[in-house]
Amino acid sequence: MAKGNLESSREDLSQISTNVVPAQTQMRGFMKNGEVDLDKSLNEVNCRASEIGCIDFEYSFERFKMLASENGKLTPGTAREAITVLQGEMLGFYSNVRRENSGIDVKGPDFIVEELGVFKNITHVEVKNPVGSAIKLANNQTRSIARQGKEIGKKIIYQQKYWSNPNETSNIENLNLTASLPQSPNNTLGVVDYFDVPSTEKAFMEGNILK
């Protein structure tokens, strides 16, 4: 898929970013006794709503808990996805975000949504949460922002094509045959949350995602 098409089917949550160079992800601070603290995670949703001036956003603890789990499993990654996707809903990219039951141990598209605003064709959302080089270094991983960005861009395109291709999905073991899947690549919006990327690295990361 060309760069232009990727731009039209990807949205950055750039309104909220940090000037601090973190050595760990924000979600590390939302852990308690090795498990995700849903109250702290939900409080982050409140903070983001306040930051962007969204005063009439309605949600509940139970709704957040459902969004923060995938296939019945709650992890730091799935909780972070929930925080990110709800910010997109606050900003009016889509509405009625929910998890889809794609089948036992099947990790389908991250979320199913209802189209809204400029994204009239969107039915599904894939969330990406890149991290800065300091976090990578602290975890003994490669510090390459360029490599991480390119991999995210490629994965968004791959997922857009894969989940809308019946020839691919028909071969998935345990796929829920009633699950809602995108009909075309353009039905899936890739939402990139740069919260864990410092402002000094954000533009470079974004440029490599778009390559």
Token pair, residue 53, equals: 């001036």
Looking at residue 211, what is its pLDDT?
Answer: 80
Identity of the residue numbered 162:
Y
> Which residues are 2's β-sheet partners?
none
In tens, the pLDDT along 53-106 reads 988 887 899 999 999 999 999 999 999 999 999 999 999 999 999 999 999 999
| C-alpha span between 90 and 150 (Å, rounded) | 28
Residue 16 clears pLDDT 50, i.e. is over it: no
| Helices 38-51 & 76-90 angle (0-180, nearest 10) | 30
Nearest to 211 by CA among 142, 131, 157, 136: 157
Largest CA distance in the chain: 45
Range of 130's domain? 3-210
pLDDT of residue 15: 41
The 8 Å CB, 24+ separation contacts for 159-168 are 159/109, 159/126, 159/188, 159/190, 160/1, 160/9, 160/126, 160/185, 160/186, 160/188, 160/190, 161/1, 161/185, 163/108, 163/109, 163/124, 163/188, 164/188
CB–CB of 49/57 below 8 Å? Answer: yes
Look at the chain and report how many structural domains it folds into: 1
Minimum mean pLDDT range among 23-37, 75-89, 92-106, 135-149: 135-149
Q: Give dist(CA 129, CA 53) in Å, integer.
A: 23
Q: How confident is the model at residue 17 (pLDDT cuts 50, 70, 90)?
A: very low
